[in-house]
Structure 1
Amino acid sequence: MPLLFPHVAHAHRDSASLASRESESHAKIALMQPSQIARDGTDLALILTCALILYSLFAGVLQRGLLRKLYGGAYDGLEDTASSKGNERQRISFTYHHVASISFGIILLIGAYPAISFTCGSGTLPTPLNGTSGITIGDILSILVQVYCGYYLFEVTFRSRYISFVALAHHIGLLIIAQTAAVLGSRASKSAEATKEFYLCVVWGAFDIVTEFPLHIVLIIWRIKRRNSRLCYKIACGCTAWVLAMAFTETIITAWLLAQSWAGWQLQWQIITPTIFTLWICTQLYGAAIFLRMARQQRTLQ
């Protein structure tokens, strides 16, 4: 049947096409709408508590015999604190590298799909996961945020004597950002800033885990092969390049996301968010400087 007003139909198609192109030209964060992230903040507090307990129990199992069975004399040398004052620091770091690598590996395995779907795909926080009606993308991400925060709470308390002030500032800032986003989301704020802040937390957390996961693994190798100066030098150089590359990539992506969504942020968030990210990147650069210093030390030992 011929159309009576073909120009009207063309106009509708053109407007729909224009709207589609406009939505595609903006980052997803710019189109975020207010949405409840977690359905019950009490559940999240329980998850955080359970995660912290499990990290502590796992570290206890590692220290009370499992690491010695796995590595034998390599771990005994770290545990012999009478021979060297620095061995206790190395033993503690050896333990938490194992806890971090396993926990980050689990978070990556479980959270890769919902994180990619939420940040880059068509998924939203209320979207059911794999078509199920009971569990949503927001539920999984909220749980993983608490597990992620639980690890850093564990590390702050576990390394209380040996953690640097810069690392401490990094961990505290991370915990405050993530928990603030979770609290705002659990209250179903009418402002889209809560959802946008959670979006940035997912992006930053993903970069942090992808950056830190291989570092913890290679630092385990470092402790085992600590007498091989040539290998340790290569490891330190590789870690320096990796951290710098990831920090540069994260800065570019974050700057683009903020530029795309800048008009939608209130003034206080326009100040707080870039400031927090700047401090975050400074800690990453400080970590790269530490690896570079380690490389120089190993080079002198060759």
Structure 2
Amino acid sequence: MAKPSDGSPHITKVPLETISKLAPFSGLILSIILILYFAIRFYILEPILLPLIYKSTFTSMPLGSPLRLGFINHHIAGLTKFLILLLAAYPFISVAFLTSSLHTPFAKGSSVTMGDILIVVAQMLIAMYIFELLYRPKISPSAIAISLDLVKERDATIEFILCTVWGAFDIISEFLPHLTIILYRVYPHSHAFLRKIFRIAAITTFTGTLAETVLTMFLFGSLWERWTLAFKVATPMLHVVFTAAQLWGTWNFVGLYRRQGVLLREYEKRKDEEEGRGDRSLSLSEEARDGNGGSGEGHESRGGGKTEGAVSVVVVRQGDAQRVKETTLSNDFAISERGSPNSRTS
């Protein structure tokens, strides 16, 4: 272990060792996780859980449509990343930034190591993107990038740790976008609310990309002497692919944020116009009432005396249209009744 005065990051002191005793069984772990994803989707989420939670919002989506598939995939991806965050936060921080190695026990006296947990969660993340590749009509750039197989040579240990850094940023910065798209489908007409969450999603993905670039390149530079030539060339190229995918997602959220702003302004404009029509209709009814009141004083009863007129005005809303019904009453019987707000009692 390095001296306390040594300010180099812990990752530079990680020994070259096997990642986990489970590493030879990575393919089996990946297959089991994929089977679990399929079972959860076909037997829990789609037939039971999502219809129970979202009701007509989900059941109205056509079977097999991109809208329905995307809605399901966002739930699977969000739940998977949340579970990975719970399982891998402690071993990731301990190995990458503190004093643990990949062979350090996950818990005191346990035979499960930090590397075991990280191997399993890495397969969970890869399986999630394979599931996305199979069921999404449009493949996201990040799904292609994270599915690329890296060179496995003598730098496999530090390479794996660096990949966990990439994965950690992907999980943290991409969790909110999954939630954002789900809310977008559930509340499509809440423009003010959607505008806020799209703005937050754009900010978090952009800042997450910047932070990921700074940290990854810092660790990559700190380990420069330990990389093979192949990885010295491949790492910057892969990082450019990751960054481009994340910035593309940020740009999409900026576009959605602007669109919700336009829809919100149009909604407020329509609302103001409807309120303006309502005010004009009420003004016309006031004029009609005044006119009916003046003419009512000139009406005379059969007994030769004048009768006092009473005017009742009822504003009836029917959709966007409005009509005003005026009824002039005298001595408990109707003298006149009109359906137009512009008419006057004769």
- TM-score bracket for the superposition, by shorter chain length: 0.7 to 0.9
Amino acid at match of 2:147: L
Amino acid at match of 2:161: Y
Which residue in 1 is equivalent to 2:39? 57
Alignment of 1:1-302 (within 5 A): 20-21=3-4, 24-60=6-42, 61-77=44-60, 79-80=61-62, 88-159=65-136, 161-163=137-139, 167=140, 169-177=141-149, 180=150, 184=152, 191=154, 193-302=155-264
Q: Kindly indicate whether the alpha-carbon contact (under 8 Å) linking 1:27 and 1:261 is maintained by their aligned counterparts in 2.
A: no
Kindly state the Cα deviation for residue 133 of structure 1 after the two structures are TM-superposed. Answer: 4.5
Amino acid at match of 2:256: M
Q: CA deviation digits over 1:210-233, x for unaligned, max 9?
A: 112222123212211111122212
Structure 1 residues 42 and 257: alpha-carbon distance in aligned structure 2, compared to 1, 3 A threshold: closer
Structure 1 residues 69 and 133: alpha-carbon distance in aligned structure 2, compared to 1, 3 A threshold: closer
Q: Which moved more, 1:33-42 or 1:285-294?
A: 33-42
Q: Kindly indicate whether the alpha-carbon contact (under 8 Å) linking 2:62 and 2:68 is maintained by their aligned counterparts in 1.
A: no
Q: CA deviation digits over 1:78-99, x for unaligned, max 9?
A: x147xxxxx9222212111111
Q: CA deviation digits over 1:226-274, x for unaligned, max 9?
A: 1112221212111111100100111111121122121222222111111
Q: Kindly indicate whether the alpha-carbon contact (under 8 Å) linking 2:194 and 2:260 is maintained by their aligned counterparts in 1.
A: yes
Q: Which stretches in structure 2 are left out of the alignment for 5+ residues?
A: 265-346
1: distance between equivalents of 2:192 and 2:110? 54
Q: Kindly indicate whether the alpha-carbon contact (under 8 Å) linking 1:149 and 1:175 is maintained by their aligned counterparts in 2.
A: yes
Match of 2:223, SS? helix
Greater CA radius of gyration, 1 or 2? 2
Kindly state the Cα deviation for residue 197 of structure 1 after the two structures are TM-superposed. Answer: 0.6
Task: Please state which structure has a larger fraction of its residues in helix.
Answer: 1
Q: Kindly indicate whether the alpha-carbon contact (under 8 Å) linking 2:20 and 2:119 is maintained by their aligned counterparts in 1.
A: yes
Match of 1:130, SS? coil
2: distance between equivalents of 1:139 and 1:80? 41
TM-score by length of 1: 0.81
4+ residue runs of structure 1 moved beyond 4 angstroms?
Answer: none
Q: CA deviation digits over 1:132-159, x for unaligned, max 9?
A: 3421111111111111111111111011
Q: Which stretches in structure 1 are left out of the alignment for 5+ residues?
A: 1-15, 82-86
Q: Kindly indicate whether the alpha-carbon contact (under 8 Å) linking 1:222 and 1:235 is maintained by their aligned counterparts in 2.
A: no
Match of 1:170, SS? helix
TM-score by length of 2: 0.71
Q: Kindly indicate whether the alpha-carbon contact (under 8 Å) linking 1:63 and 1:95 is maintained by their aligned counterparts in 2.
A: yes
Kindly state the Cα deviation for residue 30 of structure 1 after the two structures are TM-superposed. Answer: 2.0
Q: Kindly indicate whether the alpha-carbon contact (under 8 Å) linking 2:10 and 2:99 is maintained by their aligned counterparts in 1.
A: no
Q: CA deviation digits over 1:271-294, x for unaligned, max 9?
A: 111111111111100100111111
2: distance between equivalents of 1:258 and 1:44? 25
Kindly state the Cα deviation for residue 41 of structure 1 after the two structures are TM-superposed. Answer: 3.9
Q: Kindly indicate whether the alpha-carbon contact (under 8 Å) linking 1:229 and 1:299 is maintained by their aligned counterparts in 2.
A: yes
Structure 1 residues 288 and 32: alpha-carbon distance in aligned structure 2, compared to 1, 3 A threshold: same
Kindly state the Cα deviation for residue 44 of structure 1 after the two structures are TM-superposed. Answer: 1.7
Amino acid at match of 2:138: Y
Q: Kindly indicate whether the alpha-carbon contact (under 8 Å) linking 1:115 and 1:141 is maintained by their aligned counterparts in 2.
A: yes
| Cα RMSD after superposing both structures | 2.0
Q: Kindly indicate whether the alpha-carbon contact (under 8 Å) linking 2:142 and 2:245 is maintained by their aligned counterparts in 1.
A: yes
Q: Which moved more, 1:114-123 or 1:217-226?
A: 217-226
2: distance between equivalents of 1:101 and 1:41? 26
Kindly state the Cα deviation for residue 31 of structure 1 after the two structures are TM-superposed. Answer: 2.1
Match of 1:234, SS? helix
Structure 1 residues 62 and 40: alpha-carbon distance in aligned structure 2, compared to 1, 3 A threshold: closer
Q: Kindly indicate whether the alpha-carbon contact (under 8 Å) linking 2:20 and 2:103 is maintained by their aligned counterparts in 1.
A: no
1: distance between equivalents of 2:220 and 2:86? 28
